[in-house]
Homo-oligomer: A and B are copies of this chain.
């Protein structure tokens, strides 16, 4: 095991989250013990990668045997901070916002939605789930602060994403998950993660157009003429 402040690859953190998922499935299928090989098979990561990822945080397995399925899931949750509950608010109760509010996964995995906000008067006051009520946008800062929300989720249209982020920061959140397609800026001490659905699709489009060979984009010598401005 390493101690010290070794930098942990961002990619490792991303994978840890998927390991939890796979471990829970394997556990449900009756595996009390899993090898890095089996786990790797199940979540499409190489066994070596899994062992390396885990090694950043400690020794969780037994040599010659494998990992205790339940135990490993538990340990990873601890690593990610999912043993604590993260009070979370959501801004913008359109379809996407609604989808996220109803997402039971959150509740099971350490996040508690404590409030939702929207600027449509028709939605205000409605109860989305037992403990989430839609408040007017004007109360965002106040309620976010009151509830000590640590995380804010932005599901508003692109045009108001930045303003929403500013208010969330004012309300004291420490992290923001932004689903609006344009990136927003936040102060140093706030962590932001942008989820760009369009980017993912564009990625697919690129891979497809490359594979199913439409024209070759990089032709031999013809330099794509620099534009006359």
Contact = CB atoms under 8 A, between A and B. Distances in A.
Copies of the protein in its oligomer: 2
Contact of A221 (B3, B60, B176, B212): B3
Secondary structure at the A interface, as helix, strand, loop or mixed, is mixed
Contacts of A49: none
Contacts of A195: 195, 197, 200
Interface stretch (A99-107, A114-122, A134-142): A99-107
Contacts of A171: none
A189 to B, nearest CB: 8
Nearest to A105: B198
A201 interface: yes
A147 interface: no
Contact of A204 (B175, B210, B224): B175
B84 A226 contact: no
Contacts of A176: 204
A132 to B, nearest CB: 14
A223 B67 CA distance: 15
A182 to B, nearest CB: 6
A133 interface: no
A204 B84 CA distance: 13
Contacts of A99: 94-96, 98-99
A46 interface: no
Given A174-B212, A175-B204, A193-B204, 15 more contacts: A1-B218, A3-B221, A4-B218, A13-B203, A17-B198, A21-B181, A33-B229, A57-B218, A60-B224, A67-B227, A68-B227, A96-B99, A111-B201, A151-B208, A177-B200
28 contacts: A2-B218, A3-B220, A4-B218, A14-B203, A18-B199, A21-B181, A21-B198, A22-B182, A32-B229, A44-B183, A58-B223, A60-B227, A62-B229, A67-B227, A71-B227, A78-B217, A80-B202, A80-B206, A80-B209, A82-B202, A84-B214, A95-B96, A96-B99, A105-B181, A106-B198, A151-B205, A175-B204, A191-B208
